[in-house]
Amino acid sequence: MEKSDSRRPTGLLLVAIPVLLMAWLIIWPIINAIGRTMWRPDAEGSYGFDLSSYIFFFSDQYSIDNLAITLWTTLMCAILLLAICLPIALYLRFSQGRLPAYVQALAIFPMFVPSIILAYAFIRVLGPNGMVDILLNAVGLPKIRTPYLTPWGPVIGLVWDNIPLTVLILLSGLGSVANHAIEAARDVGANRLQVFWHIILPRISNSILVAISFSVLGIFSSFTLPYLLGPASPEMMGPFMNRTFREVNDPINAVTQAVVTFGFCIAFGLFYVRSVARNQGK
């Protein structure tokens, strides 16, 4: 017991640097941003409580459209990610041999491709007169309407970009599903769907929550893919903030958009924290 007591300060010291960095680089700027948007000088230059930039944001149709497209993109990506990654993870968990190893390597591959390269590859393949169009044309099929510069462009790019992380988290969750639990269920006559629904899903619901909140946090504030692949308007919050700050020279509204953005991100983050806390309590 003595030994573990003496280790305690070492552990705290180890986390001190990341915690301090987070407080300095993330938490303080958040407080600062909220302060700067709510405590502002009026026409005479005296400082006071002022919510006008938030009132503008939530009464301005253009800003609301941008927020709506961001939420829509995030939701679509979350649904698609789950629909794509859960089968992959299940396959990798319950099959043996060399083929699953190749599948896993392929599923992890997008992690090593920078999103800017992904964006240009996307334009070349799925873009107008791209490879898909050429192949369709070669077999006499009509052209597709390309997702490039439509809201589906960023969705496809972001889903591809987030597959590795989601698969890895789901896979680690599936590791806690014991083989004998499934065999026992099979013995009493459960079919595949019943095994999935009653045995596997309850055990990995936490991992699903973690995987989704991780990718949702990244997608909500993403920049490169919506900037290069998305439509001019409405635009996602990342490009919208950047444009308001740099091109329209309007820092107050840009900071307001940022506060609204991390307000949503905190809400998603709470899901993650709650599921971790629930896990610890078990």
Partner 1 sequence: MKRRDFMISAAGTVAGMALLPRMSFAAEGVIDWYTSSDSNILDFWTNTVKPAFEAANPGVSINLVDAGDGAGINAIAERAIAAKQSGADPQADYFETHDPNQPNGAIDAGIYVNMKEAGLSNYDKVNPLAFDGDYSLPYRGSQVLLAYDSTKLKAADAPKNWDDLVTWIKANPGQFVYNRPDKGGSGGNFVRRAIHQANGLDPAAFTLDNYSEAYANETLGKTWEILKDIAPSLYDNGAYSSGNTQSIQLLSQGVVTMTPVWSDQVLQAISQGVLPEDTGLVQLQDLALAGGFSRAVVLDNGVNRDAALKLADFVLTEEIQSAILTELGGFPGVSWDYVSPELRERFADIVPTSIPTFPGGDWGAAINDGWYRNVAPNVDRNS
Summarize as ranges the residues that interact with partner 1 (CB under 8 A): 62, 65, 69, 72, 123, 127-130, 145-146, 148-152, 227-228, 231-235, 243, 245-250
CB nearer to partner 1: pick between 5 and 247: 247
Q: Which two tokens stand for residue 239?
A: 């490009």
CB 268 to partner 1: min, Å: 22
CB 3 to partner 1: min, Å: 18
CB 80 to partner 1: min, Å: 15
| Separation of alpha carbons 262 and 221, rounded Å | 9
Dihedral pair phi/psi, residue 72, rounded to 5°: -60, -45
CB 35 to partner 1: min, Å: 22
H helices, E strands: number in the chain: 14, 2
CB nearer to partner 1: pick between 169 and 228: 228
Q: Which two tokens stand for residue 44?
A: 């005479």
CB nearer to partner 1: pick between 126 and 169: 126
CB 77 to partner 1: min, Å: 14
CB nearer to partner 1: pick between 152 and 166: 152
Pick from 160, 153, 161: which is nearest to 228 by CA?
153
Q: Find the helix or strand (DSSP H, E) in which 40 lies.
A: strand 39-41
CB nearer to partner 1: pick between 13 and 277: 13
CB nearer to partner 1: pick between 154 and 173: 154
264-271 contacts, C-beta under 8 A, 24 or more apart? 264/71, 264/220, 265/217, 265/220, 265/221, 268/213, 268/216, 268/217, 268/220, 269/213, 269/217, 271/209, 271/212, 271/213
Residue 136's contacts (CB-CB under 8 Å, 6 or more residues apart) are 142, 143, 144
CB nearer to partner 1: pick between 161 and 235: 235
CB 71 to partner 1: min, Å: 12
What does each C-alpha distance from 167 to 132, 142, 197, 224, 246 come to in angstroms? 26, 35, 19, 22, 37
Q: Find the helix or strand (DSSP H, E) in which 49 lies.
A: strand 47-49
CA 8 from centroid of its chain's CA atoms: 34
CB 41 to partner 1: min, Å: 17
CB nearer to partner 1: pick between 137 and 191: 137
CB 83 to partner 1: min, Å: 19
Pick from 244, 246, 173, 243: which is nearest to 206 by CA?
173
